[in-house]
Chains A and B, each alone.
Chain A
């Protein structure tokens, strides 16, 4: 029944999962691409999985042996019973005492039960251990790999999809490697044992009772093709339903303010009905399996009884043998449908597992792109000289973002980057900590090519404050300490004070030990930004990058940051992308960017005097103001 498990609440699997339903990619829900079920057996993938299991080869062998014992003890039972009945009836007929036989057979059956318990328990313990260890290791491995991947990977991947590889795909693969593969094996072994016992009992009856297997296989084969599709449809339908609920709850303020309740309910009802319909369709298919299996087993029962009858009445077999056969065969018939059904059902599971394995290896095979060169050096005592020598850079091949960008920054200099969205300002700052590698030219820190510097030592000297302050769950102190793990409480306090964050932190009930909710939702944007400033400063970097760091904060916070800015920039090479003129104006040099190149460079006075782009931008801020004043007069007049 695992096949249908989770079909109800499928798509939605917790916070962080990408809930987006995209047009044109509707087949892709929670990281599954259902149109693309994998092959059942992919030798290449299997080969790659083997190393995961090899550390547990003894556990696996143990599990395997136990499993064979379980199958044996389970499927030997009808055989023993058949033989016992035959013998006992025979001896009763002969007027002999059967008490000893009864005791012997009885003890054998009890012993069988005990053996099967021990063997099955061993098997479960082993597979449980292997399975959960595998999960832990695969996840750790993927996590480490994800952290090695460059920013380029993150630019192109949705977080939800990556999440589902580490959370659900790994589970599918683990199930395949442990219970899945083993179950299929167990089913095959079980089936082989049953067939063996049947033939050992009587060839003719074995053939008769197995006659129903081919039609059953055929039916299950067609059935699973339809059922798999129906099942996929229910998963997609429920995912759409859930993402609609999620969106409506998240946007409930807009819904209410626009009075969309009735319309939204109407649309939701359509999705909900679609989900109901696809589930009912799946139910119609699902409900057919058990009746069919039972009807076929009744056909087999009928055939076996008739053949036994004919042979008994013809005197071909002893009457006691007839009873023994009847007992054993009728019990086997009831049991051999389960493995047959399971094997067919596992087929789709295997497909899914292979698809999951494929996605996992795809991720693990993604080239980290940016890694320490073997001869990379440790950067010590950085002065903060940054040289862009005719740097070319592109995110997407063929679409240059920086072209022959040439900029030489002296230690301690403050550079303001100005330009329209897409001019390449952020790209310049993203290259310095080597989030991306350049495509041409050279980028030097203190005269050393950054590709020859150990990444950790490079970033230790650089701090960045981004437009969106990103905080981790944990306390405020934890978050500031993120900048330097060995920072003392005193260091943290000093950093917070330096950026003016101490004021609000001290007002909180638990001060620096205040626990942040996910992404610091319990603080205002401004407060979060102050913490990320403190985090940047506690690292005492030589190079500081502020990428629109004050764009989202409220006036009060901005005031605090403005005040702190002078001390923060002092003695550090700084790159500042800002919208506030006063910040830009006080920079040592202003770099005006256009189409990935430097259009103008110089200090404020020089650039205003040049009367170029910068002067235009500067004036626009000004005209903007007068425009508004004019408008006010118009409405008043």
Chain B
């Protein structure tokens, strides 16, 4: 729901879910500010009434200062200071906590919303979005909004009340001195806001240089073998130092700004209390002000030092909330082009009959990535897609589980258009083993049961056995509880792939998509993978994207793709007879193995273990 409302209003709307807490926090906030303001006045009262220093002309006719007050009044006034402090303590505590609580809850909501939105956006979104970019929204922008809710919304009210009531009181006590005190507020407010706004772009610049520096560092570390292989240490050092020099120049610039700003704010404050003191003593002399009132003024100025200075902070938070909110709502408002029809029925039972009817697809409809593709896969058949990188093989199979929607034409599974059925039921019917096997940092067990969280140990083991990974898992010290590092880093490519096969087996899909453009593994592993695959493919309609002909040869249909269109189709034997693309790849790929077959006597099958 894109909206023309200012972003800050939408953010406040988000916070208003907790209107109870906000109302309570505003209430305690009012209490806290009033009690805070009362303290200097009470101290002033204690001095002026409790001590009540008066000039008295004594019998000799000389003026002396005498305390006219009495101990009980002084005690009462001082006790009031303490009572006010205790009460204020409670209110300030509640206010601080509530502000934090509301802001944390808003951040919590935003994270959940963001998380769910992101995992439901179609591939088209994720194809263009960068993970780092998304992460910076999920971290820095959520934090920006959180700060806005706690500081910008709640704290702002507090600061506003505190400043206006305190100065109101001062002006009411003594117009002249009050106005002098007030004169410094705009100065501080303007300077600190101007600074905050001025610093933002410089900070962003520093951050971006920091990012560049990290990239060089990271590349140097990750590519260390290359650096060493070419002895490029000096070259890398130079690249890195260019960035650290750059970083020095810019961050020193921010330091110079700050070196001016903070002393300036402190000096203005010292100046203001000095000038107020100056004017105040003059007023005392003129008899228009009491000493206690001047003490109260000084206490007010001390009290207001932080709130007045934080005006700049608040201004910055407002500015940041605008960009952060915009970026967050960009994600939250993003609509997935793949939408389930309201009330769509689940995919009916069937045996996996898949038809592509004149299917075209393009991110930009005018520039289709695949054009007019017709495929009919009968239940249990294997369809192999072959072609160079970028020919549209992966795009075609991604249309089947509706990771993208077709631009024209239609795809049916067991007679039903994929766009007419419930998305989850469709995807449940399709198992996918992707090219870049993605495992999650969890145990092997959890990774195998990824698509079926309630799978029993027996089911998991059965799948692992069929995927020829069970023996390997048992050989690990923790068995099925072995922790798989980030993205499965602790496993080899072949092992990751077999875990992925087990994971898909457990889903028991009627249709299978297998992306075979995998790294070469040693022959034993290759053999195990082939066995696992055979178990996986049995009785399922399978689409194989193949770089290697080994997996293709046994397919019922082979589709050779180029630039988004099917240029050749048929079985292995049929395609060999044509002198086309298939024939050329075949020559390169399989000939040496076939020759090997001719050259060597068929021998005993070597024992295969993992």
Within 8 A of B (CB), among A534-579: 535, 539, 548, 551-552, 554-556, 558-559, 562, 579
Q: Give the dominant DSSP class at A's interface.
A: helix
Q: Check B231 against A89 for contact (C-beta < 8 Å).
A: no
Stretch with Cβ within 8 A of B (4 or more), from A218-226, A239-247, A344-352, A588-596? A239-247
Q: A140-B241, A305-B46, A615-B600 are in contact. Are A312 and B223 (CB under 8 A)?
A: no
Stretch with Cβ within 8 A of B (4 or more), from A17-25, A200-208, A384-392? A17-25
Q: Check B520 against A622 for contact (C-beta < 8 Å).
A: no
Known contacts A136-B247, A472-B223, A624-B530; 9 additional CB pairs below 8 A are A18-B486, A22-B483, A74-B270, A93-B63, A120-B262, A248-B118, A254-B434, A259-B428, A625-B593
The digit string for A91-130, where 1 denotes a CB below 8 A from any CB of B, is 0111100110111011001101110111111001100110
Q: Is A190 an interface residue (CB 8 A)?
A: no
Stretch with Cβ within 8 A of A (4 or more), from B67-75, B152-160, B350-358? B67-75
Q: Check A245 against B135 for contact (C-beta < 8 Å).
A: yes
Residues of B within 8 A of A488 (CB): none
Q: Check A308 against B51 for contact (C-beta < 8 Å).
A: yes
In this complex, the member of B70, B142, B229 whose beta carbon has the largest number of chain A beta carbons within 10 angstroms is: B229
Q: Check A110 against B51 for contact (C-beta < 8 Å).
A: no
Residues of B within 8 A of A144 (CB): 233, 237
CA distance A268 to B120 in the complex (A): 14
Q: Check A98 against B285 for contact (C-beta < 8 Å).
A: yes
Residues of B within 8 A of A466 (CB): 225-226
CA distance A135 to B51 in the complex (A): 57
In this complex, the member of A139, A291, A462 whose beta carbon has the largest number of chain B beta carbons within 10 angstroms is: A291
Q: Check B267 against A292 for contact (C-beta < 8 Å).
A: no
Q: Check B427 against A259 for contact (C-beta < 8 Å).
A: yes
Q: Is A361 an interface residue (CB 8 A)?
A: no
Q: A22-B483, A124-B258, A558-B588 are in contact. Are A245 and B138 (CB under 8 A)?
A: yes
Residues of B within 8 A of A455 (CB): 231
The digit string for B90-117, where 1 denotes a CB below 8 A from any CB of A, is 1011001100110011011001101110
Partner of B78, one of A109, A253, A301: A301
Q: Check A116 against B263 for contact (C-beta < 8 Å).
A: yes
Residues of A within 8 A of B223 (CB): 470, 472
Residues of A within 8 A of B450 (CB): 254, 258, 260
Q: Check B132 against A102 for contact (C-beta < 8 Å).
A: no
**What are 9 pairs between A and B in contact, CB < 8 Å?**
A22-B441, A106-B278, A151-B228, A291-B90, A291-B92, A298-B84, A322-B53, A555-B548, A618-B596
Q: Check A249 against B255 for contact (C-beta < 8 Å).
A: no
Q: Check B277 against A8 for contact (C-beta < 8 Å).
A: no
Residues of A within 8 A of B104 (CB): 276, 279-280, 283
Q: Check B295 against A482 for contact (C-beta < 8 Å).
A: no
Q: Is B473 an interface residue (CB 8 A)?
A: no
Residue of A nearest to B94 (CB): A287
Q: Check A159 against B218 for contact (C-beta < 8 Å).
A: yes
Partner of B75, one of A113, A295, A306, A459: A306
Q: Check A295 against B85 for contact (C-beta < 8 Å).
A: yes
Q: A253-B123, A331-B298, A435-B225 are in contact. Are A99 and B285 (CB under 8 A)?
A: yes
Partner of B215, one of A77, A299, A518, A617: A518
Q: Check B82 against A299 for contact (C-beta < 8 Å).
A: yes
CA distance A526 to B101 in the complex (A): 52
Residues of B within 8 A of A9 (CB): 139-140, 142-143
Q: A14-B132, A242-B135, A555-B589 are in contact. Are A433 and B228 (CB under 8 A)?
A: yes
Partner of B298, one of A21, A89, A305, A327: A327
Q: Check A620 against B527 for contact (C-beta < 8 Å).
A: yes
Q: A84-B281, A248-B115, A283-B101 are in contact. Are A14 and B275 (CB under 8 A)?
A: no
Residues of B within 8 A of A617 (CB): 523
Q: Is B187 an interface residue (CB 8 A)?
A: no
Q: Is A449 an interface residue (CB 8 A)?
A: no
Partner of A312, one of B51, B79, B590: B51
Partner of A16, one of B71, B139, B218: B218
Q: Check A167 against B108 for contact (C-beta < 8 Å).
A: no
Q: A615-B600, A635-B554 are in contact. Are A167 and B214 (CB under 8 A)?
A: yes
Q: Check A322 against B67 for contact (C-beta < 8 Å).
A: yes
Q: Check B263 against A295 for contact (C-beta < 8 Å).
A: no
Give the distance to chain A from B230, nearest Cβ to Cβ, in Å.
6
Partner of B119, one of A74, A256, A433, A628: A256
Q: A95-B63, A254-B450, A287-B96 are in contact. Are A470 and B240 (CB under 8 A)?
A: no
Q: Check A460 against B231 for contact (C-beta < 8 Å).
A: yes
Residues of A within 8 A of B588 (CB): 555, 558-559, 562
Q: A420-B522, A621-B596 are in contact. Are A124 and B252 (CB under 8 A)?
A: no
Q: A330-B299, A618-B596 are in contact. Are A125 and B259 (CB under 8 A)?
A: yes
Give the distance to chain B from A301, nearest Cβ to Cβ, in Å.
6
CA distance A132 to B525 in the complex (A): 53
Stretch with Cβ within 8 A of A (4 or more), from B161-169, B364-372, B463-471, B602-610? B602-610
Q: Check B255 against A132 for contact (C-beta < 8 Å).
A: yes
Residue of B nearest to A6 (CB): B143
Residues of A within 8 A of B237 (CB): 140, 143-144, 147
Q: Check B230 against A275 for contact (C-beta < 8 Å).
A: no
Stretch with Cβ within 8 A of B (4 or more), from A52-60, A191-199, A313-321, A395-403? A313-321
Interface range, A side: 35 or more
The digit string for B374-416, where 1 denotes a CB below 8 A from any CB of A, is 0000000010000011100000000001010000000000000
Partner of B270, one of A73, A241, A464: A73
Give the distance to chain B from A87, nearest Cβ to Cβ, in Å.
10
Partner of B135, one of A114, A249, A559: A249
Q: A257-B430, A460-B231 are in contact. Are A92 and B55 (CB under 8 A)?
A: yes
Residues of B within 8 A of A125 (CB): 255-256, 259
Residues of A within 8 A of B51 (CB): 308-309, 312, 319, 322-323, 326
Q: Check A319 against B53 for contact (C-beta < 8 Å).
A: yes
Q: Check A147 against B236 for contact (C-beta < 8 Å).
A: yes
Q: A257-B427, A455-B231, A555-B585 are in contact. Are A143 and B220 (CB under 8 A)?
A: yes
Residue of A nearest to B271 (CB): A113
Q: Is B329 an interface residue (CB 8 A)?
A: no
Partner of A259, one of B240, B266, B451: B451
Within 8 A of B (CB), among A476-515: 482-483, 485
Within 8 A of A (CB), among B591-605: 592-594, 596-597, 599-600, 602-603, 605
Q: Is B333 an interface residue (CB 8 A)?
A: no
Q: Check B119 against A112 for contact (C-beta < 8 Å).
A: no
CA distance A623 to B235 in the complex (A): 50
Q: Is B284 an interface residue (CB 8 A)?
A: yes
CA distance A559 to B233 in the complex (A): 34
Q: A163-B218, A326-B295, A585-B592 are in contact. Are A320 and B271 (CB under 8 A)?
A: no
Q: Is B222 an interface residue (CB 8 A)?
A: yes
Q: Is B457 an interface residue (CB 8 A)?
A: no
Q: Is B419 an interface residue (CB 8 A)?
A: no
CA distance A183 to B292 in the complex (A): 34
Q: A120-B262, A257-B427 are in contact. Are A624 and B82 (CB under 8 A)?
A: no
Q: Is B205 an interface residue (CB 8 A)?
A: no
Residue of B nearest to A275 (CB): B108
Q: Check B221 against A433 for contact (C-beta < 8 Å).
A: no
Q: Check A128 against B258 for contact (C-beta < 8 Å).
A: yes
Q: Is B583 an interface residue (CB 8 A)?
A: no
Q: Is B273 an interface residue (CB 8 A)?
A: yes
Residues of A within 8 A of B19 (CB): none
CA distance A623 to B520 in the complex (A): 17
Residues of A within 8 A of B600 (CB): 608, 615, 618-619, 622
Partner of A459, one of B142, B230, B585: B230
Give the distance to chain B from A516, nearest Cβ to Cβ, in Å.
11
CA distance A421 to B75 in the complex (A): 87
In this complex, the member of B77, B119, B240 whose beta carbon has the largest number of chain A beta carbons within 10 angstroms is: B119
Q: Check A291 against B602 for contact (C-beta < 8 Å).
A: no
Q: Check B530 against A473 for contact (C-beta < 8 Å).
A: no
In this complex, the member of A257, A313, A327 whose beta carbon has the largest number of chain B beta carbons within 10 angstroms is: A257
Residues of B within 8 A of A291 (CB): 88-90, 92-93
